[in-house]
Chain A
Amino acid sequence: MKPRVAVFDFASCEGCELQLFNLEEKFLDLIKIVDVVSFREGMKEHSDLYDIAVIDGSIMRPMDVERLKIIRKKAKTVVALGACACIGGVNKLRNQWTSENVRREVYGDANLEGNPLFDIFPARAVDEVVKVDYYVPGCPIDRAEFTKVITAVIMGREPRLPSYPVCVECKLRENQCVFELGMFCLGPITRAGCNAICPTHRKGCAGCRGFLEDANMDAFKDVLRKYKIPMDEWLKCFDMFNCKIKREK
């Protein structure tokens, strides 16, 4: 019996789901090893019987929490897909403002009272609501890493994410350091696994895969000072995917 996989979306651009279709001919290989039973972006059919739930997006509302908890109960394995699901990603930028301010900014004076679609709380990563078994980080996800994780899950093997920074992969690709090119890069404190795609294309890492838990932030800030990166640029870049600010209500 092939494992049954369902893909669900919460608050996200759904680009990580699109990345699955971007596997192209490999997607055809993928559906030889799993049965996709639910995937709104790609099919009409839906089944509530699944082994692996793949979750794209952040959790923003009480109604999301209810839906997510039901999915967790039905699935044997939950995989968080992409930055929004894994760490909250860009959705957490919104946590700098109160929910009331956010609503007014987007919808003006429209009366949203009592409408559950607009009943929002500060954005949460999936694992702030339910237990997540495995993560495929990134904005968007790295397709090769997704297949690595999914084949490992099917084989019953723990898919380990790299515990080292993007610099490792960047060096193996023999890139000139983007700091030398006068750019800002979060690679030294960001979890690897993307094969240093941004620095390889001469763009500093934006930290979409999340910061390493044991990142040496003090040393990194010294580096930013050494390369004379303006402080306001630091803060913008730090917050982009890894905003820690949280204003309740």
Chain B
Amino acid sequence: MKSMTRGQWFSFTDSLIQDNTRDIIGVQSKGKRFHFALLENAHDLRLDHDVTLLPPKKFLLPTHEELIRFDISRPFEVSSSKPDRAQILIGVHPYDVIAIQQLDAVYQNPPVDDIYAARRKNTLIIASDILTIASRSFAGSLGNHVVTSGYDLLVTDLGDIVVIDEGTSAGRELLKSFGECREALTPEIERVTQLRAELPGRYRHKLKVDKWQWTELLLNNSTHPLWEKNARKCLSCGTCTLVCPTCFCYDVDDVMDINMKEGTRVRTWDSCLLRDFTLIGSGEIFRQAPVDRYRHRFYRKGVYLPQRFGFVACVGCGRCATQCLSDIADPLNVMNTLAASSVETRLDLPIPHKKPHHLQGPIFLPKSATIIRREKMTQTDTFYEIELDSRKPLGHQPGQFVEVSIFGMGEAPISVASAPEPGRNSFDLLVRSVGNVTTHLQSLTVGDKIGIRGPFGNGFDAASLRKRDLMFIAGGCGMAPMRSLVKYVLAHRSEFGEVSLLYGCKDPDSILFNADLNVWKTRTDIVQKFTVDDCPAGASWDGNIGVITDLIPLIDFDPGKTTAIIVGPPVMYRFVIKNLKDRGMPDDNIIVSLERRMKCGVGKCGHCQINGVYVCLEGPVFNYADIKDLPEAF
């Protein structure tokens, strides 16, 4: 440990500012509160702050951040955002240091967010011990009032002198280059030790349940009356998540310059408390009720992130408690209430174990691709054959998806509709016009450029289907991902048992992939049955009229030997699954592919989450047995 006088500490921060090679960010007063801001004068730095309005996260994951820049006046012109200047954050409290370590774990977990990683690498952290305890903080109960790693330097302001602990060699270098100090004397070190030891006792608010028990407590209390009671007071304003140092979800949107030539893709902090957070192109909202959104926030902190990363995603800073107008956001109150009145209705919310992703390079930079074939299939659906301009195959598995970019419009997740075939570099997409990107795509034609990211997600595990009888059950444009698997199976037909395809659509005109269906009709090794909800008078139709479940009794299948693969609109799953289970099909034999708002594709933005499961990482293809207990799945 080192120590320096107040004057030397001032000179040290001042010379960091004067050096002008890095942005020096420090805690400063803002009205009667505090914030992290660019430090222009060493006198403005405060180390006696209780807590800042926003966490220092905003300098690692800015509230608004440019991901890519594009020029739509050219066929395909896009570049990554420019890296920021290096920076030093001064005055970061221990709980915020721990929150930054959590952000690091999330954003540097594969697939690594390269923009975050680059900024983080360029950031030094000068932490400071807590002198003033924030009124609603309970960091002491979580052990987050002190910290032993995660900082480059840790300063303790003892008034007359400042004691400094060197956490990293970068911190030591910084101190050597810009500061004057000496070895700390034993009495000084003792004062620091005492200050830290006395901290927990100074917290007014105490958690009555150990943080490692949060998961159990929450899983036992999903139906506790507290959720409804508090949610009635919820304004759905997102404040609790926006001021949280451990929340990290974001939204992405394209913004055009007024010259209509250049534009940027911008990511902005988002909140799972906002109604449209789970909205998908077709208009469905998966967490519509405020109570579901309210509870989700606590489950994320106490169940989902602990399951995935091994930490409780609350550091006890008290920001949410202070800033929630209705005062329902405080995790301390919620956990203490649950502990005092546990209702013990056990719920299990496992995250299925899937292959990790190892995407490399800039994850937000779309690859240039060209439309090489286009075919209008129905009034709302168009088929595209796409080739990457690198002429390399996409490298996908059946059931995976890509993010299709149209600069200025945004991105949309689209399932790949073709099977990987040896010698073929192109891939197929079927696009239904529902949102901005998909509607604009309909106007593009052969030779036009689009951007592609991916492939993403876990597709169908063809190996596990070998030797099984297969029943494909598709609804509407669910036929697109299904086609990738059907094509794969038919190309390797001898490896599988009996194969049938049940396909339902709104009306005969909505049937997709007629050309494929007609070819498959000529084969004797696949049984096909069709149904439509409605057949207008005069239309030629020889299939069934009714719901998709009408077709299941038409197939003679052995529920034990058969695997059913279901892809369709959200409403379809419940009915089809119930029907199959009534026929004696075990859960394990049912495979589904689910649609959610996969915005980033890399398990960060949070929009596609089904309870703790990221559809873009663990899905979109799931074994029903793995997710049947997730209340948000079906």
Contact = CB atoms under 8 A, between A and B. Distances in A.
B269 A151 contact: no
A81 to B, nearest CB: 17
Interface in B236-267: 236-239, 242-243, 255-256, 258-260
Contacts, number: 105
B243 to A, nearest CB: 6
B436 A158 contact: yes
Contacts of A167: 235, 237-239
Nearest to A177: B323
Contacts of B35: 174
A150 to B, nearest CB: 8
Contact of A188 (B258, B325, B408): B325
A154 B260 contact: yes
Interface string B208-243: 000000000000000000000000111111110011
Interface string B307-334: 0000000000000000101110000000
A168 B242 contact: yes
A29 B325 CA distance: 42
Interface residues of A, number: 38
Interface in A155-211: 155-158, 163-165, 167-168, 171-172, 174-177, 179, 181, 188-189
Contact of B235 (A26, A155, A216): A216
A13 B276 CA distance: 34
Contacts of A219: 232-235, 326
A212 to B, nearest CB: 9
Contacts of B238: 164, 167-168, 171
B170 interface: no
A111 B460 CA distance: 81
Nearest to B243: A171
A152 B290 CA distance: 31
Nearest to B232: A219
B3 interface: no
A157 B436 contact: yes
B43 interface: no
Decide if the interface of chain B is mainly helix, strand, loop or mixed.
loop
A148 B326 contact: no
Contacts of A188: 235, 237, 325
B326 A33 contact: no
A151 B243 contact: no
* Chain A binding surface, main DSSP class: helix
Contact of A155 (B30, B32, B256, B323): B256
* Most chain A beta-carbon neighbours within 10 Å: one of B30, B259, B443: B259
Given A163-B275, A219-B233, A171 B239 contact: yes
A222 interface: yes
B207 interface: no
A157 B409 contact: yes
A32 B260 CA distance: 10
B63 interface: yes
A222 B328 CA distance: 12
Contacts of A171: 54, 238-239, 242-243, 323
Contact of A164 (B30, B234, B236, B258): B236
A214 interface: yes
Interface in A218-233: 218-220, 222-223, 226
B256 A176 contact: no
Contacts of B258: 26, 29-30, 33, 147, 151
B275 A214 contact: yes
Interface string B264-285: 0000110100111000000000
B440 interface: yes
Nearest to B241: A171
A32 B327 CA distance: 50
Interface of B: 30-33, 35, 53-54, 58, 63-64, 232-239, 242-243, 255-256, 258-260, 268-269, 271, 274-276, 290, 323, 325-327, 408-409, 435-436, 439-440, 443
Given A155-B260, A155-B408, A168-B242, 17 more contacts: A147-B258, A152-B256, A155-B256, A158-B436, A163-B274, A164-B236, A164-B276, A167-B235, A167-B237, A171-B239, A174-B58, A176-B31, A176-B33, A189-B235, A215-B235, A216-B235, A219-B234
16 contacts: A26-B258, A29-B258, A155-B408, A156-B443, A157-B409, A157-B436, A164-B274, A165-B237, A167-B235, A167-B239, A168-B237, A168-B271, A172-B242, A176-B33, A223-B235, A223-B326
